[in-house]
Structure 1
Amino acid sequence: MNAVTHPEITLVPNNSLLTATPEEGRQLAVKMARLIVKLTQPDEEKRNQLRDVYGNDAMMLIAVGQTVATEFATIAAANNYWRK
């Protein structure tokens, strides 16, 4: 990607999937899902316009939930499902 038109985005915050709790893991999953949207559509104005579209489409909202669930499953596995 061109750094001028697409500034580098860190897709794994702090370069780690490890979290102290499942709640922190879920929050990280949401953040990671948002980052992939930002990477896919780097134009903030366009993303703002699209929020009206997906915010009123049940299937798109379900897809968002599925994306977060996939990210969370990865994080949960990385944390050995928070078992000690």
Structure 2
Amino acid sequence: MTSWLPTLITATPEEGYDLAVKLARIAVKKTQPDADIRDRLRPEYAEDADSLIAVSQVVATHFATISAANGYWRDAS
């Protein structure tokens, strides 16, 4: 079986950020596996500033983890 997350290593910070967003999205799917329920709830949080800020905080936490795993992009040379 192939893992959906084979590594946290990315070539660039941008790829790392995209991975952080993916991790946040996967967490939501695993927490609420019913797509119909997620679709029904989306309008409620899509216009809620507190919910959007909370999402940003989750992505930032994931990005910090990915950044550390990448040695903050090893000398960026």
Give the TM-score, by structure 2 length: 0.90
Post-superposition Cα deviations, 1:5-45, rounded to whole Å, max 9, x if no partner, equal: xxxxx6xx342000000000000000000000000000000
The whole-number CA distance in structure 1 between the counterparts of 2:69 and 2:41 is: 32
Q: Which has the higher contact order (CA 8 A, sep 6+)?
A: 2
Runs ≥4 residues deviating over 3 A? none
The whole-number CA distance in structure 2 between the counterparts of 1:14 and 1:40 is: 17
The whole-number CA distance in structure 2 between the counterparts of 1:77 and 1:70 is: 11
Of 54, 62, 65 in structure 2, the residue corresponding to residue 71 of structure 1 is: 62
Determine whether 1:47 maps to 2:26.
no
Q: What displacement does 1:66 show?
A: 0.4
Give the TM-score, by structure 1 length: 0.83
The whole-number CA distance in structure 1 between the counterparts of 2:41 and 2:69 is: 32
Of 14, 19, 29 in structure 2, the residue corresponding to residue 28 of structure 1 is: 19
How many residue pairs get matched? 73
The whole-number CA distance in structure 2 between the counterparts of 1:43 and 1:64 is: 19
CA RMSD across the alignment: 1.1
The whole-number CA distance in structure 1 between the counterparts of 2:19 and 2:5 is: 11
